A and B are shown apart, each in its own frame.
Chain A
Amino acid sequence: MRSGLVAALLCASIATAQDHAAHGAAKTPRFALGSSAAVDGSGTIWAVHLDGGRVVVRQSAGVGQLWSAPVPLSAPEERIEADGDARPKIAVGGVNELYVTWTHPLAKPYTGEIRFVRSVDGGRTFSAPMTVHRDRQEITHRFDSVAVSQRGQVFVAWIDRRDAVLAKERGADYRGAAVYYAVSDDRGASFRGDFKVGDHSCECCRIAMRPRSDGGMDALWRHVFEPNVRDHALAVLEPDGAVTDLHRATFDDWRIDACPHHGPSLVADGAGTLHSVWFAQSSDDAGAFYGRLIDGKVEGQRKLGGGAAEHPDIAAAGNSVVVVWKEFDGNVTRLRAMTSDDRGAHWSERELGSTTDASGQPQLLQIGERFVVFWNTRADGLTLTGISR
């Protein structure tokens, strides 16, 4: 032991130099793959991701155009979570508003705060980050989602464990976590909340939201139905905090106490029919699925791709519906899509691209009449690929 101490002292200068090198690398992580994008009224694409440990925003004029230099939105000292479904999110409102959320992990594992930043001048300036929820316990507030309603109100939803913590204090059992949300009436200057959507959500999947024509928001999330079925629930979030029509939306009967980290997406076509993609592993089938969610039933459910499909996203406009996903075959990750021109009755499938290194989750954007896939890859960075119909 004494020799160890002597060695430690003697070698202090060497160790210090090595430590600095190692810490330096850790403090400036590689360009993170977890990223999100949104399109503003002029067709400019806005992307957020983690760069050098900070949430940054960048813009591009479209497919084939360069991305602007990153503008940091978070403080250098703030820890950020940015992988998979827990990546930073961005939404666009009106003409000039940009809204960004992310999760700031706290000291205790699996705890966090939902942070929010806005621009009301088309991305020229951004506000300082604020915390969205009133509850400030050191507990889970994670897996943020942000969307803007037809009336311009900003909805932020997240996974919250306050009810699980209370139950535990009382010695009661509690399945999973809960979904909460908050609403801003003043373009993100302040939020009202926290409104509870429902008990017993899954703990580690993103929440899908899509604006309804009546000013509310449809929300779809992985739930934990009794006893441990991790299928999805759908509900309407009203701007006043009321939650209506909460019901089971998918029926794969995935019974598991696990963390899939694989959340759903939700859109509506021109006739108002909800189309969704999600991930499930039932006893007889596993994979990514598409289906129309109609009155508590799934219509036209089909499995995506060749079985290894993961992290799908969906977009719709008029009679067109587009689904994208990625699929790894052991060597190559392929970006694949299927498109329908008759609201999901018939589909055609194609490959859009591929990469032989790490990649994030693909996201569908609509630019005017065109669908575009946003995909962050280690090899090529932020990519945009148009889908011809």
Chain B
Amino acid sequence: MSVLRRLLCLSLLLLSPFVQAEPRLTPFDAGSPAALRQANAGHAFVLVFWSVHCAPCFAEMAQWRAYRKQFPGIPIVQVATESLDESAAIVNVLDRYDAGTTGHRAFADDYAEKIRYAVDPAWRGETPKVYFYDREHKRIARSGALDPDWARRWFEQQSR
């Protein structure tokens, strides 16, 4: 391939909305919790961990989609606790339960205890595990299926 064609290709790629689509899965590593707090300084956000083994997690995908729509000012970051090596299994679940959404993440590698520790040393890997960060980034951790009434109240409070 000629240099000219490479340049042409590159410039078209940069211009093109067609190829700028966000990748389906991006990595979440031990540095990600701090990076998320920094990116959301002064703002509330929600960090959701789920697993391909976790049937209760699948059921909650629709709920997160609804909150995202109703409270667009509060970012919801969903992270699969399997490594990116398991992308096929993760995307298989997303296609079925959360088709069409972007911004999903997965553990960057299978050193899960290190990533979990960076999130919360007390988290033992059970899913769903959700962290609700308020504007001051004081957080509430929830394990297991979420009480939707409680979650809705939290979102409403943070949206005021």
Residues of chain A touching chain B, judged by Cβ–Cβ distance below 8 Å, are 1, 3-8, 10-11, 13-14, 26, 29-30, 32-33, 79, 81, 83-84, 86, 105, 107-110, 203-204, 256-262, 279, 281, 286-287, 308, 310, 328, 330, 333, 357-358, 378
Contact = CB atoms under 8 A, between A and B. Distances in A.
B96 interface: yes
8 contacts: A8-B16, A30-B85, A33-B110, A84-B53, A109-B93, A281-B143, A328-B113, A328-B114
Contact of B88 (A6, A26, A281): A26
B12 A333 contact: no
B1 A261 contact: no
Contacts of A308: 121
Contacts of A8: 16, 18-19
Given A26-B87, A29-B85, A86-B53, A262 B126 contact: yes
Interface in B85-142: 85-89, 92-93, 96-97, 109-114, 117, 121-122, 124-129
B56 interface: yes
B76 interface: no
B69 interface: no
A258 B144 contact: yes
A174 B78 CA distance: 27
Interface residues of B, number: 48
B82 interface: yes
* The 7 A-B residue pairs with the shortest CB-CB distance in the complex, in nearest-first order: A4-B18, A7-B12, A257-B145, A259-B54, A258-B144, A358-B111, A256-B144
B57 A259 contact: yes
Contact of B124 (A32, A83, A286): A286
A279 B51 contact: no
Interface string B4-32: 01101100110111110000000000000
A7 B88 contact: no
B52 interface: yes
Given A3-B12, A10-B12, A281-B126, A261 B51 contact: yes
B35 interface: no
A32 B12 CA distance: 40
B19 A259 contact: no
A357 B15 contact: no
B34 interface: no
A347 B73 CA distance: 54
Contacts of B145: 256-258
B124 A310 contact: yes
A218 B156 CA distance: 50
A330 B113 CA distance: 8
Given A109-B92, A110-B53, A204-B53, A1 B113 contact: no
Contact of A4 (B19, B87, B112): B19
B55 interface: yes
B124 A279 contact: yes
B58 interface: yes
Nearest to A257: B145
Contacts of A13: 1
B89 A105 contact: yes
A328 B125 CA distance: 12
Nearest to B122: A286
